[in-house]
Amino acid sequence: MIISNKFPEYKNFNPKVPVYCVTPGEGRIIHRFFDTSPFSPSGRYMALFRMPDEIDLPKPGDKGEIVIVDLEEGVEKVVAESYGFEHQLGANINWGENDNLVIYNDVDPETWEYFGVKLNWKTGEKTRLEIGVYHVSPDGLEACTGNPSCKWRTQSGYGLMIPQELTKTVSILSEDEGLFVTDTRTGKARLLLSMKEIFETCFSKEYIDEHKDGECYLFHSKYSPSGNKIMFSTRWIPKELHNRKENIGTRKIRFIIFTCNRDGSNLQVSIGQEHWVNGGHHTTWHPNEEQLTMNIKKDWGEMRFATATLDGNCVKPVFDNIIGSGHPTFHPNGKFLITDTYAHESLSYGDGTIPLRLIYLETGEEITLVRISTLTPYQESNIALRVDPHPAWDKTNRYVAFNAYEGGTRRVYVMDMEKYL
């Protein structure tokens, strides 16, 4: 990867690694999430999302921009607009099979139909994808998602906006909602696993009877590093909370993590709702694909980094005495994990800046790679307006992209981790 000298180097608080701001201009821009590389397959380009504003949550009909940054030339280009976004993950931009193809969500503001788009940003050719996209398989040939128009019912920031009266309510017995998979070559989607199939396969009749009157939504979904497996989460909301727009903060919500093979077989509960009683967040794949990683409290007191086996039989802390935070990922070399920190967490500096953390798995030694600002002036009124760094690796596992709030706006940075490899 070549990073142009047009991108200013970030030097505040003496970073331990080289850090570059790759969006020094207009701002209002983010990359997607900690489980998705914003870097193109070759590493030359980054696919980012620019919001129309940073003050308010998006409303139906608002539109943002799909932006390609050429890291080698040091320039950016707006290649499309999208009406299908929210503030945390933007339009859920993923790369396709090669450097020419980006995949993202959109909405027709005339009909309010939502869909995905596969765009050849160099030629302008588009393929329309049924349902939409959350995560694209490593080979670029499939996209998985739950219904993107319903995600706001449990938490703002992760789907897209259409008029509220047009969004569906979903339960554990819904037969037409669940985990969708779309062929990115044809645009055709299929319901891989319905909510009804998921819950009737994994739970007893007694469980079904107890939970059938609540709402339940498929939230996160993500392919494993090889693309052979899929992890997805569901969020169940009790009947008395049906009319709440933001349910994530209540302990009455029930979280479950499932895994299955890419074809939907071998469906199992990997992290059951009993593990979430004291809080937890941000599950993703371990590089070995035999485990998941996350932050969780359980009965350990403070938040801990943890691993979980896919069969649901073992959820255990990685360290006994190191506080978990942010969005952790384990490097494939097996030596360390990296993560960020929320501005409200105890490990932040209290002035709006947070550490990007590297922690060695064998010794627990911790290094603050970068200290940078993420606190926005708007998140006090609505937490969904926060900036999460979401540190995400490139395909060589040397470079990391992350979001920050510097110079009064959202920006994207790249750090070179060669020193620690």
CA distance 402 to 393: 9
pLDDT exceeds 90 at position 260:
yes
- Predicted confidence (pLDDT) per residue in 86-128, tens digit: 999 999 999 999 999 999 999 999 999 999 999 999 999 999 9
CA distances from 189 to 179, 192, 206, 219, 225 (A): 10, 9, 32, 17, 22
For the chain, the maximum distance between any two Cα atoms, rounded to a whole number of angstroms, is 62
| CB neighbour class for 265 (10 Å; exposed up to 12, middle 13-18, buried from 19) | exposed
**Residue 279 DSSP one-character state:** -
- Predicted confidence (pLDDT) per residue in 341-364, tens digit: 999 888 999 999 999 999 999 999
pLDDT exceeds 60 at position 240:
yes
SS (H, E, C) 74-140: CEEEEEEEECCCECCCECCCEECCCCCEEEEEEECCCCCCEEEEEEECCCCCEEEECCCCCEECCCC
Q: How confident is the model at residue 155 (pLDDT cuts 50, 70, 90)?
A: confident
Please give the model's pTM, rounded to 2 decimal places.
0.95
Average pLDDT on 268-287 reads: 92
CA distances from 105 to 119, 130, 267 (A): 11, 10, 27
**Residue 152 DSSP one-character state:** G
pLDDT exceeds 90 at position 156:
no
Average pLDDT on 14-32 reads: 97
pLDDT exceeds 60 at position 212:
yes
Q: How confident is the model at residue 251 (pLDDT cuts 50, 70, 90)?
A: low
pLDDT exceeds 90 at position 413:
yes
Q: How is domain 19-420 classified at the CATH fold level? A: Methylamine Dehydrogenase; Chain H (2.130.10)
What is the structure's pLDDT at 314? Answer: 83
What is the structure's pLDDT at 154? Answer: 86
What is the structure's pLDDT at 295? Answer: 94
